[in-house]
C-alpha cells in the first residue's frame, strides 16, 4: 500500500541551506521589514507593566482626561483642579487615562492533527510562521509576547516580555518541538486562563479538532478573565474541499484509525458536515465576542497578516 505524505514538516527556506534558528527560521528580512510597519491592537483595555500605546484600566499620566476625584490625604497637591476649586470652593483632583503596554500570549497547538498538509506546507508550519509574524509585530511595537505551546497539555510556557531575544528564544523552542500527541485544546485553554491573571491579548492558533463544547467553555473562561481573544482556525485546503479524485485509505493522524472511502462519492455529505463544524466554531466565537479567522495554510502569510491587522485596526477606531 502506498503511503502519501505521512510525515512532513518543512520550514521555509531552501532545503540545501543550513537550518536557521529563531526568528530568522521563520521570517526573512524583507518580511520583517514589511511586518514592522504593522501593529497589533487590543480591542479592549489591557493591563501592562509598562507605559505603552494601549488603554489601561488604571489612571495615569496621559494627556487624555478621565474624571475628577475628591482630594484626599496622600494625593499630590499639584493635581488639584484650581478652576473647580475657584467655582465650588472644594478640592478636586483631575485624573487622566493611563496607557500601558500590550501583553500578547500565543497559544500554539502542536497536536498531531496540525502536522497535515496537502501541499508543501503543513498546518503546523503555517501556525509557527503566523506565530513568528505576530510575535515580531508585537515586540516591534514595544509590547510583550508570551507563548503557550501545547498539545494535550501545556508543554512549554514563556511569560510575556518585550525583547527580540525573548522572541528569538521562544521561536527556537517552537522549532525544537515538532507536533506530537493528541489534542487537548480545552484543557490547555483553561490552564492559560488560570495562569494569565491580568487582562491580556490571547491569540489561539489551532485547528480546533477537539471537543467543541469543551472548547467553547474554555473560550468563555478566557473571556470571563476579560482577555481579548483572537482565534486563528488553521485549515488545510484539502480539509475544506476534500478534492481528492480517487478512493484511498485515510488514516487519522492522532488515533491511527483507518477508513477506505471514495471522497467523490461522499463529497457533498462531507462538505455539509465540515461546514456545520466551522459554523458552530464561528458562532461560538461570535457569541463570546472573539475575533474568529480562518487561516488557510495555502495562502500567503504576509498578505494574510497584513489584511487581518489592517482590518482589526480599522475596527478598533
Partner 1 sequence: MFVTPLFLIASAVGAAIPLMLHLMQKKNSARSPFPTLRFLEQAVQQSSRRVKMEHLLLWLLRTLIMLFLGLAFAMPMLRTHNFAWLGNTPRDVGIIIDASYSMDYNLGRETVWDKALGVAKTVIEGLGENDRFCIYVASEQPVPVIAEPTSDREDGLARLKGLKRGHASSSLAPTLMAVNDVLKSETRRREREIYVLTDGQALPWTGFRTSDGEPEQDGTAQQGAWDPSSVGEKTILFVALLGATAPENVAPADIVLNPPILLKGTDPNITARLIGTGNAMETVVSMHRDGEEISRRTARVGVGADSNPSFSIPSLPVGTHAVSIQTPDDNLPIDNEFHFLVRVRDELPTLCVGTKEDTFFARAALSATAGGAPGSESKSRWVTADALASESLHAYASVFLCNALPMSGQASTALEQHVRSGGLVALFPGPAAAPSDYQAWQCLPGVPTGMEDVRQSRRKRMLTWEQPRHPMLHALQDSLAPPVVTMRRHLAWDTLAPETETLVTLGDGTPFLLDRPYGQGHVLMFAVPADRSWSDFPLSPFYLPMIRQTIEYGAGIGAFAPYLWSCATLPLSANLPEATSASRITDPDGQAVPIRSAIIEGRTVLHAENLALPGVYSLTQPGQTPAPGFAINLDRRESDLTPLPPADLPELLRIKKLQIATDSESLLKLIKELRVGRTFGEHLLWLVLILALGEFIYANLLLKDRPKLGDMLQIKASGKVGGHTPHVGGNSTKGGTT
Write the CB contacts of 260 (distance below 8 Å, at least 6 apart in sequence): 247, 248, 249, 250
Q: Which is nearer to partner 1, 93 or 218 (CB)?
A: 218
Q: For residues 211-250, which are near partner 1 according to CB under 8 A?
A: 211-213, 232-233, 236-237, 239-244, 246-250
The single-letter DSSP state of residue 22 is: G
Sheet strand arrangement including 291-296: 154-161, 144-150, 103-109, 201-206, 228-235, 291-296
For residue 142, the minimal CB distance to partner 1 (Å) is 24
- Determine, following the binding rule CB under 8 A, whether residue 270 of this chain makes contact with partner 1: yes
Q: Which residue, 92, 94, 83, 103, is CA-closest to 61? A: 94
Write the CB contacts of 16 (distance below 8 Å, at least 6 apart in sequence): none
For residue 133, the minimal CB distance to partner 1 (Å) is 13
Q: For residues 47-106, which are near partner 1 according to CB under 8 A?
A: none
Q: For residues 115-174, which are near partner 1 according to CB under 8 A?
A: 116, 123
Helix axis angle for 164-176 and 123-140, nearest 10°, is 170
Q: Which is nearer to partner 1, 53 or 267 (CB)?
A: 267
CB 144 within 8 A of CB 162: yes
Q: Which is nearer to partner 1, 160 or 235 (CB)?
A: 235
Q: Which is nearer to partner 1, 196 or 234 (CB)?
A: 234
- Determine, following the binding rule CB under 8 A, whether residue 251 of this chain makes contact with partner 1: yes
- Determine, following the binding rule CB under 8 A, whether residue 288 of this chain makes contact with partner 1: no
- What is the C-alpha to C-alpha distance for residues 55 and 47, in angstroms, rounded to an integer? 8
Stretch that binds partner 1, among 58-66, 97-105, 194-202, 272-280 (CB under 8 A): 272-280
Binding mask 15-54 for partner 1 (x = CB under 8 A): ----------------------------------------
Stretch that binds partner 1, among 33-41, 44-52, 216-224, 262-270 (CB under 8 A): 262-270
Site size for partner 1, by CB under 8 A? 75
For residue 256, the minimal CB distance to partner 1 (Å) is 10
- What is the C-alpha to C-alpha distance for residues 7 and 20, in angstroms, rounded to an integer? 21
- Determine, following the binding rule CB under 8 A, whether residue 284 of this chain makes contact with partner 1: no
Q: Which is nearer to partner 1, 21 or 310 (CB)?
A: 310
- Determine, following the binding rule CB under 8 A, whether residue 2 of this chain makes contact with partner 1: yes
Q: Which residue, 246, 115, 120, 87, is CA-closest to 177? A: 115
- What is the C-alpha to C-alpha distance for residues 259 and 280, in angstroms, rounded to an integer? 25
The residue behind cell 488560570 is 194
112, 115, 130, 177, 310 from 180: Cα distances, Å: 5, 8, 19, 8, 34
- What is the C-alpha to C-alpha distance for residues 37 and 13, in angstroms, rounded to an integer? 23
CB 75 within 8 A of CB 54: no
- Determine, following the binding rule CB under 8 A, whether residue 317 of this chain makes contact with partner 1: no
Q: Which is nearer to partner 1, 61 or 273 (CB)?
A: 273
Q: Which is nearer to partner 1, 85 or 265 (CB)?
A: 265
CB 101 within 8 A of CB 124: no
- Determine, following the binding rule CB under 8 A, whether residue 278 of this chain makes contact with partner 1: yes
Binding mask 178-217 for partner 1 (x = CB under 8 A): ----xx-----------------------x-xxxxx----
Amino acid at each position: 500500500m502506498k503511503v502519501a505524505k505521512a510525515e512532513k514538516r518543512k520550514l521555509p527556506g531552501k532545503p540545501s541551506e543550513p537550518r536557521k534558528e529563531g526568528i530568522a527560521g521563520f521570517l526573512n528580512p524583507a518580511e520583517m521589514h514589511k511586518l514592522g510597519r504593522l501593529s497589533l491592537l487590543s480591542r479592549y483595555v489591557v493591563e501592562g507593566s509598562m507605559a505603552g500605546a494601549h488603554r489601561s484600566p488604571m489612571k495615569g499620566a496621559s494627556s487624555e482626561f478621565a474624571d475628577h476625584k475628591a482630594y484626599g490625604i496622600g494625593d499630590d497637591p499639584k493635581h488639584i483642579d484650581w478652576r473647580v476649586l475657584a467655582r465650588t470652593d472644594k478640592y478636586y483632583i483631575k485624573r487622566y487615562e493611563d496607557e500601558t503596554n500590550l501583553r500578547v500570549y500565543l497559544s500554539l497547538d502542536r497536536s498531531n492533527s496540525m502536522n497535515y498538509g496537502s501541499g508543501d506546507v503543513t498546518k503546523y508550519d503555517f501556525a509557527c510562521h503566523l506565530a513568528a509574524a505576530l510575535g515580531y509585530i508585537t515586540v516591534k511595537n514595544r509590547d510583550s509576547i508570551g507563548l503557550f505551546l501545547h498539545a494535550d497539555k501545556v508543554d512549554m510556557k514563556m511569560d510575556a516580555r518585550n525583547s527580540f531575544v525573548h522572541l528569538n528564544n521562544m521561536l527556537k523552542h517552537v522549532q525544537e518541538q515538532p507536533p506530537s500527541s493528541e489534542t487537548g485544546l480545552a484543557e490547555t485553554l483553561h490552564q492559560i486562563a488560570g495562569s494569565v491573571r491580568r487582562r491580556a491579548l490571547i491569540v489561539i492558533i489551532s485547528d480546533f479538532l477537539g471537543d467543541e463544547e469543551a472548547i467553547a467553555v474554555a473560550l468563555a473562561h478566557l473571556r470571563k478573565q476579560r482577555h481579548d481573544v483572537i482565534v486563528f482556525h488553521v485549515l488545510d485546503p484539502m480539509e475544506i474541499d476534500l478534492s481528492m479524485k480517487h478512493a484511498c485509505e485515510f488514516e487519522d493522524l492522532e488515533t491511527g484509525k483507518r477508513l477506505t472511502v471514495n471522497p467523490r462519492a461522499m463529497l457533498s455529505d462531507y462538505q455539509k458536515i465540515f461546514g456545520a463544524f466551522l459554523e458552530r466554531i464561528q458562532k461560538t466565537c461570535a457569541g463570546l465576542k472573539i475575533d474568529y479567522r480562518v487561516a488557510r495554510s495555502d495562502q500567503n502569510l504576509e498578505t494574510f497578516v497584513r489584511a487581518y491587522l489592517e482590518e482589526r485596526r480599522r475596527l478598533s477606531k
